[in-house]
């Protein structure tokens, strides 16, 4: 049995956090860490060193792009793979994510039964 | 007819009288001569009296005779050769009027010249000159003897100084004629002369008459309307002049060979028309000896004439002996020839005794005077002067008629020609006229069409100009080199130039034509150049044009080539500034992106929660199941609110929401709004305090309640627990503006001032919270769609982000304004105004009155 993987979820919507946590725990046996805003997320990432960060882009205050940038700037967090989970589903928005060199981009509303596998498959073995 | 007269010489005067009477009684010369011979024989008591007439050739003929009982033979009608009375004798008769009496027995002759050869005049008065006798020539004696004559008396008859003839008395017995008898006979001869004169005159008159009758007849033929008058006239002339044939050659001035020939009777042999032959003219020129008149040739005997062989042969072969040719000339115009032909004739002459040609007549007188009939065959007949004269007269008539006919025909031809030409000319003129008329009407039509075209062109160009002037789009035309030919005011103003400044400019450089990505085109790569070069129409959106001040702006343009007869002569570019549109488009895109995002957010929770509940791979604890149901439910509510808010905003923005305005009481509306929010306020632990104001307004009550509700909802959401949200309303009149002015922010003052300009009084509603406040730079932005304030914990407040946008739309559509004032840390106040217009007031007053009355 492989070691329990830890995932950090940064999202301002409490309902989404709660539903996603349950989803990841049940379908993928993830240990889910959660943050409601950017600064909190950065702090947890630094401290907990999760295996992957599930990052929302549209956040009040520090937005997703800034969080991503800060994660990459920090040597302690720069290696952590990032999966973007966003409600921005416009074609032009999707194109802009491609340049961010993230592990995966998952669009809201995601499929709760496959999201875990999606994330897992995006990670290096 | 013989009449007996007394023979006595006494009756001499009677005799003379009688004779004179007889001569005068008759005009017929033979009759007179007969009578003369008779009377003279009776008077002279001789055996024979004869009247001998000389012919021009010197021969003679007995033309009248009286014989006593056959004592001497009759010589009447007999010819005597010229030699019988020699030339000398004839000359004596003529010149000396010598009379002679011969006595054969005595062989003496008595001669009594009436004139002397030297003095003719002197002797005339003395008529009775004595006879002088001498011996007679033996020849004469022999001659007389042979005739049986013993005594003779001869008196010459002179007429017009010519020897006309002789009055001769013969007696078979010797007889002596005395002076007396001689004088009597002389008197008689004188009377005969008178008679001859009369007779000649008569004959002349007769001939003249005949002549004239022939002419008249001919003329009547010539002018007759019967067929071929010339031929009939010719026939008549031929007969009248006792010819066997005649011909009329009518010269054709146009062609010598086309002359017309009219013939009658006998004609020269051969088919050739002699008159057309050059020999004919040569002959006539040469034939001067027979040219009896200026244009008339009379050849009595062609055998004697020097004819050219071709002519003489033609005539001879036809037995023609005499020819009369007249050249028809009238008014100096040559018309042709009239020719008359005679054949030879046989002439019988009765001679007094046969002539012995072998004997010399001089040597020996004839011994016999027995009548001898001489037949001369194939004699030519001479053209007599009168005949020639007649011919000339006739020819003149012919000439005249032919000339007139030709003239008439010429005139006719000319007339016909003229008529023809007139007709032709008329036809031509008609044609020309027709053509001209056609041309004129065509021209008129063309002109009319031109006018119409010009008018419509004018109208069109005017319309074009109007269209160009009115068009919001910039329009300009360029020539093949890209230089501007025309532009409209919009083009000029969009580009920041004056219209005149643009003309002639190279537009590509002037506009610094740049593509949507900001790269300037090279001229030959630009779509406009391609339009000019290839004629394609290009519709481009997003390219940039440069204004005069250097600012670039996005444009949408259509470049269309202008072609004339397949050749591109320029292009028209219609463009518009799409800056606004791009902004709107961007906003739309943004809106869609935001809406999409906002819708996806609650859906994410719902899907995840429901997905987990629905799966049966893993058992979920009941408590967590319950949480998932709650999450799904609340997010569904959120989704419903969101959708209805979005629809509200859109409807309000597009004006699709009809305000259901009606008079209402503000206090009622406030109470209702507060009631709806009371539950929420309790949940957040916030007090609501309303300062009610009873004031009537004219508005859509539901929308006003929605607005107040939204504002209350926000206020509650952002208020700390146990704080109070204040709701107040007051009426502001223009006069009362100053009192509240200090309470308002700059935006608020401006909004109220604007409202009071339009309306006499306003209702001002304020909702105040004690929240953390709104940064100054967000005070306006919060009214935009999906704009949400950060909360201190950064958590999402569950609002749709559309509430304030909806409020602003509702208030503005009521003619009011909404704004926010805030002090960070102390709280915020949201104000909105609603106008109270005079009309509304009146309506309200009326209503209030009505309410009072019912009460």
Separation CA B183–CA B99 (nearest Å)? 10
Question: Average of pLDDT values for B258-279?
Answer: 85
Q: Could you say which of A14, A18, A88 has the minimum Cβ distance to residue B795?
A: A14
Q: What are phi and psi of B486, to 5 degrees?
A: -150, 160
Predicted pLDDT at B449: 83
Separation CA A56–CA B419 (nearest Å)? 117
Under 8 Å between Cβ of B767 and B711: yes
Separation CA B654–CA B676 (nearest Å)? 28
Predicted pLDDT at B438: 84
Q: Could you say which of A16, A26, A88 has the minimum Cβ distance to residue B593?
A: A88
Angstroms from B711 CA to nearest CA on chain A: 21
Under 8 Å between Cβ of B601 and A13: yes
Reply yes or no on whether the pLDDT at B798 is more than 80: no
Question: Average of pLDDT values for B784-791?
Answer: 63
Q: Do B620 and A22 touch (CB under 8 A)?
A: yes
Predicted pLDDT at B115: 63
Q: Do A60 and B796 touch (CB under 8 A)?
A: yes
Closest CA to B130 of B92, B152, B101, B171: B101
Predicted pLDDT at B11: 64
Q: A76 pLDDT band (50/70/90 cuts)?
A: very high
Q: B110 pLDDT band (50/70/90 cuts)?
A: confident
Closest CA to B258 of B231, B276, B281: B276
Residues in A touching B618 (Cβ below 8 Å): 26-27
Cα B594 from chain centre: 85
Q: B845 pLDDT band (50/70/90 cuts)?
A: low
CA atoms within 13 A on the CB side of A51: 15
Q: Where are the alpha helices (DSSP H) in B503-621?
A: 507-511, 527-534, 579-614
Most confident segment among A3-12, B192-201, B787-796: A3-12
Among the CATH numbers 3.30.565.10, 3.40.50.300, 3.60.150.10, 3.30.450.40, which is that of B224-344+380-403?
3.30.450.40
Predicted pLDDT at B840: 54
Predicted pLDDT at B394: 87
Instruction: Specify the higher pLDDT residue, B736 or B262.
Output: B262
Q: What are phi and psi of B627, to 5 degrees?
A: -60, -40
Closest CA to B248 of B397, B380, B408: B397
Residues in A touching B596 (Cβ below 8 Å): 87-90
Q: Do B631 and A15 touch (CB under 8 A)?
A: yes
Predicted pLDDT at B4: 43
Reply yes or no on whether the pLDDT at B163 is more than 90: no
Q: B711 pLDDT band (50/70/90 cuts)?
A: very high
Q: Could you say which of A12, A18, A27 has the minimum Cβ distance to residue B627?
A: A18
Angstroms from A59 CA to nearest CA on chain B: 8
The answer to which of B216-220, B580-584, B797-801 has the lowest mean pLDDT is B797-801
CA atoms within 13 A on the CB side of B112: 25
Q: Name the residue of chain B whose CA is nearest to A57's CA.
A: B597
Mutate to test the interface with B, among A11, A15, A22, A93 (most CBs of B within 10 A): A15
Q: Where are the alpha helices (DSSP H) in B298-343?
A: 309-317
Predicted pLDDT at B799: 63
In angstroms, how far is the first alpha carbon of chain B from the final one?
A: 188
Mutate to test the interface with B, among A19, A89, A106, A119 (most CBs of B within 10 A): A19
User: Residue B301, SS3?
Assistant: coil
Predicted pLDDT at B603: 93
Separation CA B61–CA B81 (nearest Å)? 9
The CATH number given to whatever domain includes residue A48 is: 3.40.50.2300
Predicted pLDDT at B522: 92
Reply yes or no on whether the pLDDT at B133 is more than 80: no
Average pLDDT, chain B: 82
Domain annotation covers residue A91: yes
Question: Average of pLDDT values for B12-35?
Answer: 77
Predicted pLDDT at B851: 55
Q: B87 pLDDT band (50/70/90 cuts)?
A: confident
Reply yes or no on whether the pLDDT at B125 is more than 80: no
Give the CA distances from residue B209 to residues A86, B240, B270, B399, in Å, rounded to whole numbers and listed in that order: 158, 13, 38, 22
pLDDT in tens, B310-358: 888 888 888 888 889 998 888 888 888 899 999 888 877 777 776 655 5
Separation CA A110–CA A113 (nearest Å)? 9
Q: Exposure of A87 by Cβ count < 10 A (0-12 exposed, 13-18 middle, 19+ buried)?
A: buried
Q: What are phi and psi of A109, to 5 degrees?
A: -80, 130
Q: Could you say which of B601, B624, B634 has the minimum Cβ distance to residue A22?
A: B624
The sign of the torsion formed by the CA atoms of B188, B192, B193, B194 equals positive
DSSP B107-155: TEEEEE-SS-SS-HHHHHH---PPPEEEEPPHHHHHHHHHHT-SEEEEE
- CATH fold of the domain at B9-205: Beta-Lactamase (3.30.450)
Reply yes or no on whether the pLDDT at A82 is more than 90: yes
Domain holding A65, by residue range, is 6-122
Question: Average of pLDDT values for A80-85?
Answer: 93
Roughly what angle, to the nearest 10 degrees, separates helices B579-614 and A14-28?
50
Which numeric CATH code is attached to B658-854? Answer: 3.30.565.10
Predicted pLDDT at B361: 41
Question: Average of pLDDT values for B177-196?
Answer: 81
**Positions of CATH 3.30.565.10 in chain B:** 658-854
Cα A16 from chain centre: 12
Reply yes or no on whether the pLDDT at B366 is more than 70: no
Q: B121 pLDDT band (50/70/90 cuts)?
A: very low
| Kind plus residue range of the DSSP H or E element containing A115 | helix A115-122
Q: Do B631 and A109 touch (CB under 8 A)?
A: no
User: Residue B267, SS3?
Assistant: coil
Closest CA to A120 of A42, A7, A20: A7
| ipTM of predicted assembly, 2 dp | 0.93
- CATH fold of the domain at B471-577: Beta-Lactamase (3.30.450)
In angstroms, how far is the first alpha carbon of chain A from the final one?
A: 15
- Bridge partners of A107? A86
Give domain B598-649's CATH architecture: Orthogonal Bundle (1.10)
Q: What are phi and psi of A12, to 5 degrees?
A: -85, -15
pLDDT in tens, B597-608: 888 989 999 999
Closest CA to B133 of B86, B177, B68, B84: B177
Q: Do B620 and A109 touch (CB under 8 A)?
A: no
Reply yes or no on whether the pLDDT at B593 is more than 60: yes
Q: Which of residues 740-799 of B touch A (CB under 8 A)?
A: 788, 790-791, 793-796
Q: B169 pLDDT band (50/70/90 cuts)?
A: confident
Question: Average of pLDDT values for B106-126?
Answer: 59
Average pLDDT, chain A: 89
pLDDT in tens, B226-241: 888 888 889 988 988 8
Q: B359 pLDDT band (50/70/90 cuts)?
A: very low
Domain annotation covers residue A1: no
Q: B854 pLDDT band (50/70/90 cuts)?
A: very low
Predicted pLDDT at B787: 65
Reply yes or no on whether the pLDDT at B131 is more than 70: no
Predicted pLDDT at B609: 93
How many domains does chain A divide into? 1
Angstroms from A101 CA to nearest CA on chain B: 22
Angstroms from B595 CA to nearest CA on chain A: 10
**Positions of CATH 3.30.450.20 in chain B:** 471-577
């Amino acid at each position: 049995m492989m070691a329990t993987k830890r995932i950090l979820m940064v999202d301002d919507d409490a309902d989404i956090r709660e539903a996603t946590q349950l989803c990841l725990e049940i379908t993928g046996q993830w240990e889910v860490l959660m943050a409601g805003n950017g600064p909190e997320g950065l702090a947890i990432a630094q401290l907990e060193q999760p295996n992957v960060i599930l990052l929302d882009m549209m956040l009040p205050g520090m937005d997703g792009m800034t969080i991503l940038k800060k994660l990459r700037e920090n040597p302690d967090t720069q290696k952590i793979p990032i999966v973007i989970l966003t409600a921005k589903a416009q074609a032009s928005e999707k194109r802009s994510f491609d340049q961010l060199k993230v592990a995966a981009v998952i669009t809201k509303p995601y499929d709760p039964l496959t999201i875990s596998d999606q994330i897992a498959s995006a990670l290096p073995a | 007819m013989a009449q007996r007269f007394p023979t006595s010489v006494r009756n001499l005067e009677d005799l003379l009288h009688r004779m004179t009477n007889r001569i005068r009684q008759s005009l017929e010369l033979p009759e007179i001569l007969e009578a003369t011979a008779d009377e003279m024989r009776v008077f002279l008591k001789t055996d024979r009296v004869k009247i001998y007439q000389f012919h021009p050739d010197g021969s003679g003929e007995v033309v009248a005779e009286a014989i006593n009982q056959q004592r001497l033979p009759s010589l009447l009608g007999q010819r005597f050769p010229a030699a019988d009375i020699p030339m000398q004798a004839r000359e004596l008769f003529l010149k000396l009027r010598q009379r002679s009496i011969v006595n054969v027995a005595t062989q003496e002759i008595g001669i009594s010249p009436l004139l002397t050869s030297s003095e003719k005049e002197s002797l005339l008065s003395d008529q009775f000159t004595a006879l002088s006798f001498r011996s007679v020539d033996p020849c004469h004696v022999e001659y007389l003897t042979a005739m049986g004559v013993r005594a003779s008396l001869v008196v010459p008859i002179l007429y017009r100084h010519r020897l006309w003839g002789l009055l001769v008395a013969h007696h078979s017995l010797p007889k002596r004629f005395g002076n007396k008898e001689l004088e009597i006979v002389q008197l008689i001869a004188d009377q005969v002369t008178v008679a001859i004169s009369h007779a000649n005159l008569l004959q002349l008159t007769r001939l003249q008459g005949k002549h004239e009758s022939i002419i008249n007849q001919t003329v009547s033929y010539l002018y007759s309307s019967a067929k071929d008058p010339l031929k009939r006239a010719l026939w008549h002339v031929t007969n009248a002049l006792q010819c066997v044939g005649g011909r009329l050659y009518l010269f054709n001035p146009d062609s010598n060979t086309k002359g017309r020939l009219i013939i009658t009777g006998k004609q020269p042999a051969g088919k050739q028309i002699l008159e057309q032959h050059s020999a004919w003219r040569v002959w006539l020129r040469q034939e001067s000896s027979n040219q009896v008149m200026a244009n008339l040739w009379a050849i009595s005997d062609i055998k004697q004439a020097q004819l050219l062989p071709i002519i003489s042969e033609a005539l001879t072969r036809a037995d023609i002996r005499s020819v009369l040719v007249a050249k028809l000339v009238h008014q100096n115009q040559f018309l042709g020839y009239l020719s008359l032909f005679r054949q030879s004739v046989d002439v019988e002459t009765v001679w007094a005794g046969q002539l012995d040609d072998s004997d010399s007549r001089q040597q020996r007188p004839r011994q016999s005077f027995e009548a001898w009939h001489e037949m001369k065959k194939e004699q030519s007949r001479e053209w007599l002067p009168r005949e020639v004269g007649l011919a000339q007269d006739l020819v003149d008539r012919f000439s005249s008629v032919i000339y007139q006919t030709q003239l008439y025909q010429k005139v006719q031809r000319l007339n016909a020609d003229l008529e023809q030409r007139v007709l032709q000319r008329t036809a031509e003129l008609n044609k020309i006229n027709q053509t001209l008329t056609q041309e004129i009407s065509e021209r008129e039509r063309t002109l009319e069409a031109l006018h119409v075209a010009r008018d419509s062109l004018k109208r069109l160009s005017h319309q074009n100009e109007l269209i160009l002037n009115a068009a919001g789009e910039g329009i300009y035309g360029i020539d093949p080199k890209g230089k501007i030919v025309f532009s409209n005011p919009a083009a000029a103003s969009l580009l920041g130039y004056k219209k005149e400044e643009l003309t002639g400019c190279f537009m590509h450089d002037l506009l610094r034509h740049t593509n949507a990505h900001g790269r300037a085109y090279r001229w030959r790569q630009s779509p406009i150049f391609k339009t000019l070069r290839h004629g394609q129409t290009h519709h481009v959106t997003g390219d940039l044009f440069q204004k005069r001040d250097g600012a670039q702006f996005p444009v949408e343009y259509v470049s269309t080539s202008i072609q004339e007869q397949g050749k591109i002569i320029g292009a028209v570019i219609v463009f518009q500034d799409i800056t606004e549109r791009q902004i709107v488009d961007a906003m739309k895109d943004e809106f869609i992106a935001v809406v999409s995002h906002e819708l996806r957010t609650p859906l994410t929770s719902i899907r995840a929660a429901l997905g987990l509940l629905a799966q049966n791979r893993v058992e979920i604890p009941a408590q967590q199941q319950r949480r998932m149901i709650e999450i799904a439910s609340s997010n569904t509510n959120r989704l419903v609110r969101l959708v209805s808010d979005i629809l509200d905003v859109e409807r309000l923005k597009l004006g699709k929401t009809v305000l259901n305005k009606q008079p209402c009481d503000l206090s009622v509306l406030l109470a209702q709004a507060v009631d709806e929010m009371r539950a929420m306020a309790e949940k957040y632990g916030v007090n609501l305090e309303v300062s009610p104001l009873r004031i009537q307004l004219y508005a859509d009550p539901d929308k006003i309640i929605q607005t107040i509700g939204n504002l209350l909802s926000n206020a509650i959401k952002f208020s700390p627990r146990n704080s109070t949200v204040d709701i107040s309303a007051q009426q502001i009149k223009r006069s009362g503006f100053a009192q509240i002015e200090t309470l308002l922010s700059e935006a608020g003052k401006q909004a109220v001032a604007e409202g009071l300009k339009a309306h006499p009084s306003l209702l001002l509603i304020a909702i105040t919270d004690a929240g953390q406040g709104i940064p100054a730079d967000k005070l306006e932005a919060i009214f935009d769609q999906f704009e949400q304030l950060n909360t201190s914990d950064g958590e999402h407040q569950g609002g749709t982000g559309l509430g304030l946008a909806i409020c602003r739309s509702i208030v503005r559509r009521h003619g009011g304004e909404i704004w926010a004032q805030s002090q960070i840390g102390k709280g915020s106040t949201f104000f909105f105004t609603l106008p109270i217009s005079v009309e509304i007031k009146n309506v309200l007053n009326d209503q209030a009155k009505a309410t009072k009355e019912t009460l």
